[in-house]
Structure 1
Amino acid sequence: MISSMTSFDILEETHQLSQVILSSEVFYHFKECKYKLQHDKEAQTLIKCFVQIKEDYEEVQRFGKYHPNFHETSKKVRELKRELDLHPVISAYKKAETELDQLLIEISRIIANTVSPHIKVPSGNPYFDSIACGGGCGTGGSCGCK
């Protein structure tokens, strides 16, 4: 089928697929959550504070436990990260983002398997991507692939 399609036909099919994704309920929910996140003053303040404390943390990490503020900064980062994760607008956005990511991964998997079952598709999880070697990884077979 692909061999008889022209480049124009493939581009047209791609455009139609992208329009279906853009009109999907998952994408609409993601856009709605993103809008709410961008316009929530409390969430934006938390994000700005987290970015600042994260920069401080990265500076402290250069010296590790020998830095005078290591424990204090590490504790602040963990506390603020937990506060971010528990904020309802931020957690809704993260959930919607994950759902959209899963949709795109599933679409990629369907397209790849249509072409060949040997095409590797990232799962979005680095752990599973590294152990799910389907071959041709360049390690000379040491990972057990063929």
Structure 2
Amino acid sequence: MLATMEIVDVLDYSESIGKMVMESEVMQNYQQAKQDLESDADAQKLIRDFNNMKEQYEDVQRFGRYHPDYNNIMKSVRGVKREMDMHETVAHYKKAEREVQKLLDEISQSVAFSVSEQIKVPRNGMVFTDSGCGCGSGGGCGCAS
């Protein structure tokens, strides 16, 4: 019975942390940036253009440099992406998104390190890459020396 109450307490604490995150200034900024992005017609057009270009890019990737339009599509994708990324509303949204990710990473690290300093915690929204192979085992899989 004691273990069950401990689990209920942990779940209650995690729910309260979730509520604090949702009510935080960082999350409020993110929600506002998301709403601004969704209501900005120019930004939405740039996103659609980028997604359309990305489909062409994926077709080209199947054949690589041997595709007849490889150079044109590659240049176009970079140009459309740059234009989208440079749009003020998109840039503001991406910045707010990174701030939320940073907050979540800090919370994860705090919780993990309160248990043990040996627990590996993803940083910057990335999965574990200690061994260079990306599997997260820290080299235990034998894929990196």
Per the TM superposition, whether the score is higher than 0.5 is: yes
Deviation, 1:8, is 1.2
Which residue pairs with 2:10 in the alignment?
Answer: 10
Which residue pairs with 2:129 in the alignment?
Answer: 130
Q: Cα deviation per residue 1:45-74 (whole Å; 9 max; x = unaligned)?
A: 111110111110110111112211111111
Which residue pairs with 1:88 in the alignment?
Answer: 88
Q: Is this contact kept in 1: 2:33–2:89, CA < 8 A?
A: yes
Equivalent residues in 2 for 1:16-31, closer than 5 Å: 16-31=16-31
Q: Is this contact kept in 1: 2:130–2:137, CA < 8 A?
A: no
Q: Cα deviation per residue 1:67-87 (whole Å; 9 max; x = unaligned)?
A: 111111111100001001100
Q: Cα deviation per residue 1:119-141 (whole Å; 9 max; x = unaligned)?
A: 10011364x94137897552349
Equivalent residues in 2 for 1:1-146, closer than 5 Å: 6-124=6-124, 126=126, 129-131=128-130, 137-140=139-142, 143=145
Q: Distance in 1 between matches of 2:21 and 2:82?
A: 32
* Structure 1, unaligned runs of 5 or more: none
What percentage of aligned pairs have identical amino acids? 40
Q: Distance in 2 between matches of 1:68 and 1:136?
A: 42
Letter in 2 for 1:139: C
Q: Distance in 2 between matches of 1:74 and 1:40?
A: 27
Letter in 1 for 2:91: S
TM-score after normalising by structure 1: 0.86
Letter in 1 for 2:43: A
Q: Distance in 1 between matches of 2:144 and 2:124?
A: 24
TM-score after normalising by structure 2: 0.86
User: How many correspondences in the alignment?
Assistant: 140
Letter in 2 for 1:52: N
